[in-house]
Amino acid sequence: MTSHTKFEITFWGVRGSVPTPALHTRKYGGNTPCLEVRAGNRLLLIDAGTGICRFTERLTQAQEQGLDITILLSHTHWDHIQGLPFFKLAFNPANSIKIYGPKRAGFTLRSCLEAGMKPPNFPVPFDLLKGINQINEVAAGETIELDDLKICTAELNHPDGSIGFRIEYQGKSLAYCLDHEHDNQNEIHKGLSKLAQDADVLVFDAAYSDEDYPKFKGWGHSTWQVGYKTARKLNVKTLVLSGFNPDLGDDDLDKIALVTNGMEGNTIVAIEGESLTL
């Protein structure tokens, strides 16, 4: 058993849909989703958007090998896997990377990951990612046990499907629910409630605001206001808003931070590079 009690998350990508390096995203960041999770001796990365390429920037060269990394993929939409072909740790056979991602009818997870790396669309085949030594398909509802970590999964509401995760470690819990669209303002999706009930931290899909949402209904994403109401109903300690639509600029996100600061409960607007301890 580990004596380490650290349970910390770091945001490496908080943007949905497309990487958005722009003047209007300098503060909150423009990379697509990746969340680093440190729990005891375990290192996990949730989603492999372009943010995964920033994860290595705090490692020395010596720290870049011999790593044991678990990657959890919510789904294989491009913005959640597009960092993988550029993730330098995955090319190093001295690392041991295990991927867990959704089991989907008609496709293997490997084939979904390989598809974007085939010529003539990309010159480097998936097989050269020698640091990846396991690809595990997970059916929504399954539980993954990694030493003293318990990872629960549930299907969320998203085109082509998306699974959410709840990581429990030493009595604390982290729920990760990107990408997800609320079905009904008054009813909480059952996958979401299973994962986020009484969670210490809920990372939620806040792509839009309620005001903008009608334009994007059916696109598979939610709003910060729905995230806020959900967090209150499910007794979440800290709500983290993430997965922002590329149009949402720093000024818009500053406004959301200001408004939620004045509201009951603890709400954080995720900033790329910042960490949070559970």
In the complex, the residues that contact Zn ion under the rule CB under 5 A are 77, 179
Helix%, strand%, coil% for the chain, nearest 5: 25, 30, 45
Q: Which is nearer to Zn ion, 179 or 272 (CB)?
A: 179
What is the per-residue DSSP string for 186-249? TB--HHHHHHHTT-SEEEEE--B-TTTHHHHTTSS--BHHHHHHHHHHTT-SEEEEE-B-TT--
Q: Please, which residues have CB within 8 angstroms of residue 93's CB and are 6 or more apart in sequence? A: 130, 131
* Alpha-carbon span 81 to 241, nearest angstrom: 20
| Residue found by looking up tokens 């059952």 in the block | 190
Q: Which is nearer to Zn ion, 77 or 166 (CB)?
A: 77
Q: Which is nearer to Zn ion, 1 or 105 (CB)?
A: 105
Q: Which residue is at the shortest CB distance from Zn ion? A: 77
Minimum distance from residue 164 beta carbon to Zn ion (Å): 12
Minimum distance from residue 99 beta carbon to Zn ion (Å): 17
Contact status, residue 46 vs residue 35, Cβ threshold 8 Å: yes
Minimum distance from residue 33 beta carbon to Zn ion (Å): 9
Minimum distance from residue 79 beta carbon to Zn ion (Å): 7
Minimum distance from residue 78 beta carbon to Zn ion (Å): 8
Q: Which is nearer to Zn ion, 162 or 260 (CB)?
A: 162
Strands (E), the chain: 7-13, 34-39, 42-46, 68-72, 96-102, 132-138, 143-146, 149-155, 163-169, 172-177, 201-205, 238-242, 266-269, 275-277
Q: Which is nearer to Zn ion, 2 or 246 (CB)?
A: 246
**Structural tokens at position 137:** 């398909």
Contact status, residue 165 vs residue 102, Cβ threshold 8 Å: no
* Alpha-carbon span 206 to 63, nearest angstrom: 34
Minimum distance from residue 148 beta carbon to Zn ion (Å): 31
Q: Which is nearer to Zn ion, 42 or 189 (CB)?
A: 189
Minimum distance from residue 126 beta carbon to Zn ion (Å): 20
Minimum distance from residue 69 beta carbon to Zn ion (Å): 22
Amino acid (1-letter code) at residue 118: K
Contact status, residue 30 vs residue 250, Cβ threshold 8 Å: no
Contact status, residue 228 vs residue 239, Cβ threshold 8 Å: yes
Q: Which is nearer to Zn ion, 89 or 99 (CB)?
A: 99
Q: Which is nearer to Zn ion, 14 or 149 (CB)?
A: 14
Contact status, residue 71 vs residue 34, Cβ threshold 8 Å: no
